Structure 1
Amino acid sequence: MSKQAVLLLAHGTPETVEQIPEYLRNVVSGRPLPQHVVEEIQHRYGLIGRSPLTELTMEQARLTEAELASSGNAVPVYVGMRNWRPYIPDVVKQMRADGIAEAAVICLAPQNSRTSVGLYRRAVQAEAGPLAIDFTDSWPRHPLLIQAFAERLRPALTRLTAETGRPVPVLFTAHSVPTRTVQPPAPGEGGPKLWPGEGADPYADEARHTAELVAAAVPEIAEWHFAFQSQGASGGPWIGPTVEETIDKLAEAGHNAMMLQPIGFLCDHVEILYDVDIAFKGYARAKGIRLERPESLNGSVTLCRAIADLASEGLGRLAVRG
């Protein structure tokens, strides 16, 4: 009987502001970044103190392991990060050293573009060797994921509606990506493909679909919108609409309060603690709008039930293959 395990993959985050330059080199695969970009990221991390992404991801792993054990599937759950410690290759090596022969691998980004998923997948496969892998790279419609977001949104929306005395619009967000990574080349354009397969990348549609499902699960929502946040500093256009554009439209429509829920992130980190809690709140305030957000999923048991369900399915497929 082969020894099975689960491997959760996340983006990774540095522990200190001083580690930001090294971290950013990992994010952009060694390409040079302007010094002012590095300094701006350091500034943002300095304002929030630090990013809790690593600890929260480890907590999600522990809760997922407990969920699996309670369902009779007692297997260890490992965590590997693409851009910081514990790095994915190091964790895969450790799994092999621990005698793991089969692993269900899950990206902790429910809606994933093939370009980013490809980086995660390659990092795992480069060190896998004889380790058999079942890779779950996209799960934007999982019922328990939708339920987890709805559980966080409903009480926050109810509270803000009561405090303002009027219906409050909801803005769902996901991380933006460069336009070139999610659109196929124009007819006649040559060059290497940015992702495997044909046609446009599914990321944008999957992100919007998650938003639609969460909105349907919270009937108290009177009006909702969707935007892409955290556009990067690299050259070329990034997909939108942006959060700022959407806030402008809500202000023009006469709204003085709104709820923003990121449905592309599973825990707190700089894109929530700075981008939402500082930058977007400040932008909305200048437009006369009070912006609030629900608690992030973080240690949501419902979320970890979703991850455990995905892991069980992956382990089952490995057992059949084996």
Structure 2
Amino acid sequence: MAISTDDDALAPYDAVLLLSFGGPEAPDEVMPFLRRVTAGRDIPEERLQEVATHYHHFGGRSPINDQNRALLEALQAEIAARGSRIPVLWGNRNSDPFVVDTLRAARAEGLLRLCTVVTSAYSSYSGCRQYREDLAAATEELGVAAADFVIDKIRPYALHPGFVAVNTERLVATVEGLDDLDPATTRLLFVTHSVPEAMDDTSGPGDGDGNLYVEQHLRTAALVTQGLAERSGVTLEQELVFCSRSGSPRTPWLEPDVNDRIEELAGEGVRTVVLAPIGFVSDHMEVVNDLDREARETAERVGVRFARVPTAGTHPLFVEALVDLVHERAAEAREEVVIPAQADAGDVRPSICASGCCPNLRAAKPALCGRD
């Protein structure tokens, strides 16, 4: 990738925007948060109350915002270390700081060209296009104040070498920390957030192929498993499982559920399960509740040893990868020739999404950073 000779290493950008899901930080914020998350999806109130208990088990505070504060600080330090003076901003989809408020403040400070980093590595409606819809809705709410904004985003990064490397390193450390590990009775479970089957079917380029959400996870899992074998000499049988299903029971979602699979594996003679949550970039609620609490309890109940691999978090390899992607996007914006780094020979997703990519299946909405 060519290096800019401009005064700022990330020209033409004025700022980097860290865009995330958000979460409650106090008990009285839990239900309003869940209602925002599920707006328009006809989720019964009793189901929301049930999900709220997950948050109240942790004092009504999701860990995600604290983790994003730490990631923001790490990104700012890495960007500065590479010679850029631009700030890193932070906005959320469903909780304070809301992205519209972040953009309003940016506009007031004259920060008009932004490069967006989303805290989701994979291609899907909820992991990519919905964030682009959030940006479009925020600029629409700002009205004329948004007229001068130019907002770009980095490409999906599940197969970026840095993301694969940090997940590999986390897995190697976890496996090497297990005493008396017997690969023959150990199963490596790569875990991600379940989504409706229809969302996976339409994830990807919009040309009818689809299923890119699952495909990217399978590719990432294969690369991480290969890295484990190369670095530690341990070869484990692995598979992809899912957690955090929600919505109508009549709607097919991706399976198997991690708890169901742990129970099945116990009956098949598996004695250790290693859970690697490659579908998440930090230890937020789906990880600390659905895996560290519920899946661990399932393993204990069926007599299976349980180990959970940490997520990428603020590991230097992950932070460096995200800043690499921002530099890559800046070079694209300067119309320089860019050869994207990729850990797999598979499809490199574009930073400007194609028309029809990962569509909104409930209602057509405008989205930034794409061709539709």
Q: Is TM (by shorter chain) over 0.5?
A: yes
Q: Are positions 1:84 and 2:92 aligned together?
A: no
Does 2:94 match 1:111?
Answer: no
Residue 198 of structure 1 pairs with residue 173 of structure 2: no
- Quote the residue 1:191 is aligned against: none
Who is 2:160 aligned against? 142
> Could you report, residue by residue, the CA deviation over 1:161-194 in whole angstroms, capped at 9, with x for unpaired residues?
x2x342232111110101122225xxxxxxxxx9
Any idea what SS the aligned residue of 2:190 has?
strand
Structure 2 counterpart of 1:25, from 35, 38, 49:
35
- Mapped pair 1:223 → 2:241: no
The residue aligned with 1:35 is 45
Residue 2 of structure 1 deviates from its aligned partner by 5.3
Q: Relative to 1, partners in 2 of residues 1:260 and 1:195: Cα closer, same or farther, differing over 3 Å? A: closer
Question: How far has the Cα of 1:136 moved from its partner?
Answer: 2.3
The 1:3–1:244 alpha-carbon spacing in structure 2 relative to 1, beyond 3 Å, is closer
Residue 284 and residue 305 in structure 1: after superposition, are their counterparts in 2 closer, same or farther (change >3 A)? same
Give the structure-2-normalised TM-score.
Answer: 0.78
**Within the alignment, does 1:253 sit opposite 2:268 as a pair?**
yes
Match of 2:317 in 1: 302
- SS across alignment from 1:140: coil
Q: Is the 8 A contact 1:172 1:227 kept in 2?
A: yes
Q: CA deviation at 1:26?
A: 1.3
* Residue aligning to 2:25: 15
Q: Give the Cα–Cα distance (whole angstroms) in 1 for the partners of residues 198 and 292 of structure 2.
A: 29
Secondary structure of the 1:33 match is coil
The residue type equivalent to 1:263 in the other structure is I
Q: Given the superposition, is the C-alpha separation of residues 17 and 221 from structure 1 closer, same or farther in structure 2, using an over 3 Å criterion?
A: farther
RMSD, matched Cα: 2.1
Determine the structure 2 residue equivalent to 1:45. 55
CA spacing shift, 1:155–1:116, aligned 2, 3 Å: closer
Whole-Å separation in 1 of the counterparts to 2:119 and 2:235: 27
Seq. identity, % = 30
For 1:97-124, what per-residue CA distance to the aligned partner results, in whole angstroms no more than 9, with x for missing partners? Answer: 2211221112111013035422211221
Q: Is the helix fraction higher in 1 or 2?
A: 1
Q: 1:42 to 1:223 in 2, by over 3 A?
A: same
Q: Which amino acid aligns with 1:177?
A: V
| CA distance in structure 2 between the aligned counterparts of 1:318 and 1:274, rounded to whole angstroms | 40
Question: 1:134·1:317 contact (CA, 8 Å) conserved in 2?
Answer: no
CA distance in 2, matches of 1:78, 1:253: 49
Deviations 1:237-264 (A, max 9, x none): 1112221232133212312211101001
Q: Does 1:157 align with 2:167?
A: no
Instruction: Give the counterpart of 1:95 among 106, 118, 137.
Output: 106
The Cα of 1:35 is off from its aligned counterpart by 2.5
Runs of 5+ in structure 1 lacking a partner?
A: 185-193
Q: Which residue of 1 aligns with 2:131?
A: 120
Shift of 1:297: 2.3
**Does the 8 Å contact 2:120/2:127 carry over to 1?**
no
Aligned-partner SS, 2:310: coil
Q: TM-score, normalised by structure 1?
A: 0.89
- Cα distance change of structure 1 residues 211 and 129 upon mapping to structure 2, 3 Å threshold: farther
